[in-house]
Amino acid sequence: MSIRDMAASKRRRPVFFNLMQIQMPVGALTSITHRVTGIFLTLSVPFSMYLLDLSLQGPQSYEQVISLFHKFAFRGAAIIFVWVLAHHLLAGIRHLLSDVDIGSQLPAARRSAWFVNLGGIAVALLAAGALL
């Protein structure tokens, strides 16, 4: 192989990076969901502020907001929102505790990751029970 060939092969070195073939430990799932829920929450801030604004403007607009909660589709969205918020909150608490060395060792971290993943769903189910 000539020097030129070797230089060329260096330039086009392939990389193994198929995310479907790389293992995702439970903590990694918690983490990426934490990020995705964070983006979702940020995007939902304007609409939430709009609802807050409406609800404080006067009795009629307050009733408008209340009536939204009677719509089935809105309740469904609210339950999803509760899951998103609950997951982000629980994962966030897990991070805060890890920052002060609580549960930052691997076995504890795996357990807390499972707890966060399932806990968020549990809270959403509770909300579903209350709202539906």
Partner 1 sequence: MHFSIFRYNPEHDEKPYMQDFQVDLQPTDAMLLDVILRIKNFQDDSLTIRKSCREGVCGSDAININGRNGLACVTRVRELKEPVELRPLPSFPVIRDLVVDMTRFWKQYHSIKPYLINDEPAPEKERLQSPEDREKLNGSYECIMCACCTSQCPSSWWNPDKFVGPAGLIQAYRFVSDSRDRATQERLDDLNNDPYRLFRCRTIMNCTEVCPRGLSPSRAIERIRLRMLNVEGHGGGLALHRVPTIK
Partner 2 sequence: MRKNFTGLLAWLVQRITAVYMLLFIVFLLAHFLVDPPHSYPAWHGWMMGSSVSIATVVFFAALLAHAWVGVRDVILDYVHAMVFRVGLLVLLGFGLTALGVWVMRILWMERA
**Binding footprint of partner 1 on the chain (CB under 8 A):** 1, 5, 9, 13-17, 21-23, 25, 27-28, 31-32, 35, 95, 98-99, 101, 104-107, 109
Give the span between the Cα atoms of 45 and 108, in whole angstroms.
33
Tokens of 27: 């903590």
**53 belongs to the binding site for partner 2 (CB under 8 A):** yes
Interface region with partner 2, contact rule CB under 8 A, candidates 24-32, 52-60, 75-83, 113-121: 52-60
Q: Residues interacting with partner 2, by CB under 8 A?
A: 35, 38-39, 41-42, 45-46, 49, 52-53, 55-59, 62-63, 89, 92-93, 96, 99
